[in-house]
Structure 1
Amino acid sequence: MHPHEPHSPPPTGSSPEHTGGQPEPTPSLDKGAPQPSPWASSGGYPAPEQPAFPPPTSPYPPVAPNQYAPGHYPPGGPPMPPQHRPRGLMPWDRPARHPWEIPLLVVVIMMTSVAYLLAVLFMLIALFADPIVDEHGVEQTGSLISSPYVLLLLFAPVLLWAGRGLNFATQRVNGVRMSPTQFPEGYRMVQEAAARFGMHRAPDAYVVLGNGQINAFAAGHGFRRYVAVYSDLFEIGGAAREPDALAFIIGHEVGHIAAGHVSYWRQLGMFVAPWLPLLGASLIRAQEYTADNHGYCFSPRGASGAMATLAAGKYLNTDVGVDEMADRAAIEKGGFIWLVNAMASHPVLTWRMWALRDRSRPGPMFWRPSPPHPGMIPPPGGYPLATTPRALPPKPV
């Protein structure tokens, strides 16, 4: 067994999620007494009552420098996926796929297939048809097969395979691979997320230079799958600035892999999606909502921190009132608002925050959400002031 490969998970046992605090007893997953929205403390309108979910905890002792971690999984094994529970939007469910994803995927694959067939038809016509000559008897040299779009479609399988291979090779030679001794906190989150989603093998994980950008992505090549997290989501020493938010982001990216979004054949079937106005972007937005459902099921308490970080960055995220920003999804109106969302590959942040707060329905795709109770935006008494101390940049060492 390779020293960085996890051992086989034991059949029983579960592990809670990360917070970076002290170890706490693992709470039950029973659907007990109703609890308020996880964001209700920030003052937004109350979401529908929801059963309690287990608060993330961190059972792992710190790893001493230059020492190998005592096992890839905590005692008792990784968290096991809820095998007999339905797909849904809550942490105790199996993560749900957005209802628009598969219908849009079918339409995009059909249109991509038509484009491939037309490219092959143009190639056959150019190869077997008689040459075209003008009135002076000069043979015309231009043909449809020389069109860059036709050539792109004809070589799409090879170009996609090569691009995925180059992207993976870039991470392998330039990225810092997460392991029990390098970024162990992120490594364990990846392992736990893969186990939570029922994956047979955890993807590789890399930390890449962010240069101030807040981002992460998932991809694959061949039978390998991997996630890359930008370094600005970590602090000096490899620890997460906000472990819950990082766990949500990692759960989101591992969710892309678990949902099949990085499959070669799927991406080949979606090859023309960037050239399909509105339709291609809508499919990608639906996939992002699906990945958000995975991230929420893995780290529900990290959703607000992750969205605040995407909105204002890692130093000003504590100034963001997530309820106040999410409420604007229902009051910001206009045709340009609709157009900006329709053309975006990711859901606009206000709609995305709304979807992560209101877990009673899938995220809004085309029309802004409506509040369940009129007159609740803004809430009576207004929004509270941000009182959390602002995070300071790390000092040079």
Structure 2
Amino acid sequence: MGIITRRWGDPHLGRELRHPLENRLLAMCVAVTWLAVIGAVSRAYAGEPGEPLLLLSIPALVYFVRGQLFARQRINGVRITEDQFPEAYRMVADAAAVFNMRRVPEAYVVLGNGVLNAFASGHGSRRYVAINSDLFEVGGRLADPDALRFVIGHEVGHIAAGHTSFLRHFGISVANVIPGVGSTLGRAQEYTADNHAHLFCPEGAQGLRMFVAGKYLYTAVDFDAVAERARTDTGFFVLLVNLLSSHPVNTFRFAALADRGRPGRVL
């Protein structure tokens, strides 16, 4: 595991950019999963059918889901290469270089059907980024390459930070189905990826406004005004929505990018 981790990220840079709560939350989530697995093994040895065997099948399930997801991007998407979308390929390669990665991850454009989204994942020793076409065109037809650079830096940052490894996904698999547990780690990971993206292209953070108002209206949005609402728009239900979300709510996320002296708010 150490060789693969070093191949995809610089541990020294990773420590600087990682959200301060991420490793503690990761340890908590892994502990939850392993306690569940140990309990399943005990029940299986005791002769209980059903649920214990289901829990013990999690590694195979995680492997299968990751493999199927990767195959879907390869056979349905457009691979970003030096010949196909060369500007975007250079962004991916530049991000990998900034994060001291030994290899450039694969990257794909996939049909978005109006959804603005991108993600990073992996299968085996391979890592990749997938960007929905509606988000990808922000850097092309809508002429905001910095926004696309930030998105690419964010997703490559997930890979550099080790968020896409099989062992990590298996280790947090049970915690992910418990409301508020796995999602809290997810928010810390998103802040870590944003820290990578900010290092790579700080001016591109303005492009996140598209996740508030869409790709045609976002240039009219005041970034700082959204960030300021993290201080004024609070309360039980705001915190509840954030707790159950795998990503920080927009006001918290914008605030973390506006004030680089503080880590993003996880809770």
TM over 0.5: yes
1:146 lines up with 2:50 in the alignment: yes
Amino acid at match of 1:262: T
For residues 185-231 of structure 1, the C-alpha deviation after alignment (integer angstroms, 9 at most, x for no partner) is: 11110000001000000100000001111000000000000000111
User: Do residues 177 (structure 1) and 79 (structure 2) align?
Assistant: yes
Whether 2:39 is the aligned partner of 1:118: answer yes
Equivalent position amino acid for 1:121 in 2: S
Counterpart CA distance in 2 for 1:326 and 1:161 is: 38
Q: Once superposed, which parts of structure 1, at least 4 consecutive aligned residues long, lie more than 4 Å away?
A: 236-240
Describe how 1:83-102 pairs up with structure 2 within 5 A.
Answer: 96-102=17-23
> Alpha-carbon deviations, 1:309-354, whole Å to 9, x = none?
1111110111211111111110012111111111111000011001
Counterpart of 1:199 in structure 2 is 101
The 1-side partners of 2:139 and 2:190 are apart by 30
Specify the alignment match of 1:244 in structure 2: 146
Q: Residue 87 of structure 1: CA displacement?
A: 5.3
> Which one of 157, 160, 166 corresponds to residue 258 of structure 1?
160
Partner of 1:69: none
- Counterpart mapping for 1:332-347 below 5 A: 332-347=233-248
Q: In structure 2, do the counterparts of structure 1 residues 321 and 237 end up closer, same or farther at CA, with 3 Å as the change threshold?
A: closer
Cα RMSD of the aligned pairs, angstroms, is: 2.0
Tell me how far apart the structure 2 counterparts of residues 359 and 173 of structure 1 sit (CA, whole Å).
40
Contact 1:185–1:240 under 8 Å retained in 2: no
| Per-residue deviation, 1:124 | 1.1
Larger radius of gyration: 1
Choose from 73, 97, 105 the match for 2:26: 105
Percent identity at matched positions? Answer: 54
- How many residue pairs get matched? 258
Listed as ranges, the gaps of 5+ residues in structure 2 are: 1-8
Matched, 1:329 2:250: no
Cα 1:293–1:356 change in 2 (3 A) is same
Aligned to 1:167: 69
2:205 is matched with 303
Shift of 1:108: 0.9
Contact 2:59 2:170 in 1 (8 A): yes
Could you list the per-position Cα deviations for residues 46-83 of structure 1 after superposition, in whole angstroms to 9, with x for gaps in the alignment? xxxxxxxxxxxxxxxxxxxxxxxxxxxxxxxxxxx9x9
AA partner of residue 249 (structure 1): V
- Aligned residue for 1:276? 178
> How much does 1:181 deviate?
1.5
Q: Which residue of 2 aligns with 1:156?
A: 58
AA aligned to 1:189 is: M
**Cα shift at 1:275:** 2.3
1:209 maps to a residue whose letter is L
Long gaps (5+) in structure 1: 1-80, 89-93, 127-143, 367-397
The residue number in structure 1 matching 2:221 is: 320
Partner of 1:223: 125
